[in-house]
Amino acid sequence: MSNPQQLRYSKEHEWLSDAEDGVATVGITEFAASALGDVVYAQLPAVGDTVTAGESCGELESTKSVSDLYSPVSGEVVEANQDVVDDPSLVNTAPFEGGWLFKVRVSETPGDLLTAEEYAAFTAG
């Protein structure tokens, strides 16, 4: 598995893009998507919702289990990926591209997000 270098990663297995004009994109990692199995349902935060770093803000249901979705940052949701709601398998087939989950106007970024190398070491151990 190759984790894109430009992203940051949480220990709950979400990824975060660099903020453009204060807005960052959030998704789950390929590692998490693989562990979940085939995702069949996605409950994403709604536009206007406030999310808090490290707290649950939705869930993903797979053929194996249901998993909470955690926000890696605090802020206000400005977009939810309707394509993932309509076709949750995008989380498995394109976790770093079309399978992104939501966009957030970042108000606070925790200091414990991992680089791609740190995340690879975290998931290897």
Within 13 A of 23's CA, how many CA atoms are on the CB side?
A: 8
pTM of the model: 0.95
**Which tens digits make up the pLDDT trace of 34-78?**
999 999 999 999 999 999 999 999 999 999 899 999 999 999 999
Distance CA 41, CA 49 (A): 20
Structure tokens at 32: 């998490």
38 three-state secondary structure: coil
The separation between the first and the last C-alpha atoms of the chain, rounded to the nearest angstrom, is: 15
**Which tens digits make up the pLDDT trace of 9-27?**
999 999 999 988 999 999 9
